[in-house]
Each structure stands twice: as C-alpha cells, then as structure tokens.
C-alpha cells in the first residue's frame, strides 16, 4: 500500500528548512541574525553537511535568508512592497513633479534610479502591434527600455513602445524627455490620457529578466501590459512592466458601473 502524502517522511533537508523557517516566523531568529554554520547545523540535526547546505538553499529560494560572501548566511530583512495601482497616472500625482516610481520610493524613504539602456526603432512584438494598431512586419515603433532601482536594488523593467511616425525627431528619442516625462511630450502631440487598460499575468522570468532583476531561483515576475488611450479612444502608448513578484503588489480601486 502506498503511504499518503501526509504520512510520507520529509527529506531531512526540508525538515531542517521548515524548522528554521518556524524559528524565523516566531522571531527566535530575527532580521540580520546569522545562521549557524553548515557544520553546526549538521551536528545539531544529525545529518551530513550537504543536507544542511540544501536546507539553507531552500530558505534562500523562499527569500528568508541571504548569503554574504566571506561572512555567512543571515536572516533577510523584510522587504517593503512597492504598490502600483489605478492612481499612478493621476494628475494629482503629476503635480508632485515625481514619476509614479520616484513617488513610491520617496514614500518608502528610498533613493530611486532609472537607467535607460536603449532607445531604438524596432519591429514591435505581436501583442504590442495589435494594441498600438501598427504594422508588425515593419520598424513601426520606438522601443524605450528602462531599468528601475530602489537603493540600487533592481525592482522592475519597463519596455515602452511608441509610434515611430510620432516619436521620430522629438524628445521621445532622448534619455531625458523633459517636464512630465514621455506623457508630457505625448500631450504635446495631442494625446491626453483619458483611459488605461492593464492586462496582468504572472509567469517565470526569462534568463535575461532574472539576471537584470537579480532574482532568486524560483521567484516569478508580474507582467503588466499597459495601453494608454487618448481623448478620442486612440491607443498611443503600450508599455510592458516586468515586476519582481517578491517586491511588488498591484492595487486597483475602480468605480462600479451601474
């Protein structure tokens, strides 16, 4: 007779990891505390050092501990969650003079940094071409890729797509786009954002995304495919946000139509 899942003994490494997790959640091990060495854990739990090493790896995958080269393994400090929602494009936020990301960092006492590794004319991905209503088989868009950091920790990747016919020769092709950022320049072109459409999904990161965001193994990403529509209902910008799922929450407060 095959034993049930509940009666199947846990592997020793998982048993150690679960016990250490319990100690962390109970506050017996606090943020910044150093874990016992692999040798000490192996002796305490009566296992091999490889088993203790595997237990630590499991805790690291769960985001509970972090290794510091030459110093040991430490309980990770709880990370504040960045929240982006329905008010990120509001006029009242723009009046602060800060972009949504910089405003969120300011609220958390963090220093924001935004790198722009590339601005290029490209053929759009199929989903972008469909939403922006441009040809997929032509270099019909400008692709701006931004990497966002809080206190030098990578938080999100944003790929913004604009119509080439509108962006060429404007500040939209430059790293610094002036007051109010790209939306200010798009307003100059006659596009006043009046409606947004966000399509949200969760998935595992690509190898490039995992490296850029410095993700621990097993951590997924949240993808938001954002479309801006103007006063005439015309889509004028599509952005793909790739957020670290261990650091980001999405909050939407919407009126209920009657």
| Residues of the chain above pLDDT 70, percent | 91
Same domain for 198 and 160: yes
Stretch among 9-18, 167-176, 228-237 having the lowest mean pLDDT = 9-18
Same domain for 56 and 87: no
Q: Return the pLDDT at 3.
A: 47
Domain containing residue 31: CATH number = 1.10.10.10
Same domain for 229 and 196: yes
Tell me the average pLDDT of the chain. Answer: 89
Q: Return the pLDDT at 79.
A: 64
- 220 within domain boundaries: yes
Q: Are strands 248-251 and 82-85 parallel, antiparallel or unpaired?
A: parallel
Same domain for 237 and 111: yes
Q: Return the pLDDT at 180.
A: 82
Higher pLDDT pick, 60 / 192: 192
Same domain for 89 and 124: yes
The segment with the largest mean pLDDT, out of 18-27, 92-101, 105-114, is 18-27
Last residue of a domain, one of 58, 75, 92: 75
- 206 within domain boundaries: yes
pLDDT tens readout for residues 200-213? 999 999 999 999 99
Same domain for 148 and 100: yes
pLDDT score of 97 more than 80: no
pLDDT bracket for residue 66 (50, 70, 90): confident
Q: Return the pLDDT at 106.
A: 86
Whole-prediction pTM: 0.76
Please answer whether residues 77 and 31 qualify as being in contact, where contact means their C-beta atoms are separated by less than 8 angstroms.
yes
Same domain for 35 and 125: no
Same domain for 34 and 121: no
pLDDT bracket for residue 1 (50, 70, 90): very low
Same domain for 154 and 241: yes
How far is residue 107's CA from residue 110's CA, in Å, rounded to a whole number? 8
Same domain for 113 and 143: yes
pLDDT bracket for residue 4 (50, 70, 90): very low
pLDDT tens readout for residues 139-186? 999 999 999 998 888 999 999 999 999 999 999 999 999 888 899 999
Stretch among 62-71, 157-166, 218-227, 235-244 having the lowest mean pLDDT = 62-71
Contacts of 148 (CB under 8 A, 6+ apart): 101, 112, 113, 114, 154, 155, 156, 157, 158
Last residue of a domain, one of 23, 51, 75: 75
pLDDT score of 5 more than 90: no
- 34 within domain boundaries: yes
pLDDT bracket for residue 80 (50, 70, 90): low
Using the CB atoms, write b or e for 26-65: b if 16+ within 10 Å: eeebeeeeebbebeebbeebebeeebbebbbbbbbebbbb
**Looking at residues 124-141, what average pLDDT do you find?**
98
Same domain for 109 and 61: no
Q: Give the range of the structural domain holding residue 129, as residue numbers without chain letter.
A: 82-251
pLDDT bracket for residue 89 (50, 70, 90): confident
Last residue of a domain, one of 75, 91, 109: 75
């Amino acid at each position: 007779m095959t034993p049930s899942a509940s009666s199947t003994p846990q592997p020793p490494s998982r048993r150690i990891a679960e016990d250490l997790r319990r100690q962390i959640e109970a506050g017996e091990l606090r943020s910044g505390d150093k874990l016992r060495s692999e040798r000490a854990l192996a002796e305490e739990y009566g296992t091999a050092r490889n088993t203790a090493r595997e237990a630590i790896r499991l805790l690291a995958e769960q985001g509970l501990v972090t290794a510091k080269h030459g110093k040991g393994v430490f309980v990770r400090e709880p990370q504040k969650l960045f929240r982006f929602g329905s008010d990120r494009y509001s006029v009242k936020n723009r009046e602060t003079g800060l972009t949504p990301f910089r405003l969120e960092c300011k609220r958390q006492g963090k220093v924001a940094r935004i790198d722009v590794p590339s601005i290029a004319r490209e053929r759009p991905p199929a989903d972008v071409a469909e939403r922006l209503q441009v040809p997929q088989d032509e270099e019909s868009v400008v692709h701006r890729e931004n990497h966002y950091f809080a206190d030098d920790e990578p938080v999100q990747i944003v790929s913004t797509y604009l119509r080439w016919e509108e962006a060429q020769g404007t500040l939209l092709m430059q790293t610094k786009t002036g007051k109010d950022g790209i939306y200010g320049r798009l307003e100059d072109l006659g596009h006043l954002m009046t409606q947004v459409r966000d399509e949200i999904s969760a998935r595992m990161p690509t190898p490039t995304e995992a490296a850029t965001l410095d993700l621990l193994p097993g951590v997924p990403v949240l993808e938001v495919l954002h479309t801006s529509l103007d006063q005439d209902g015309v889509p004028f910008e599509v952005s793909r946000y790739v957020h670290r799922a261990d650091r980001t929450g999405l909050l939407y407060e919407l009126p209920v139509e009657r």
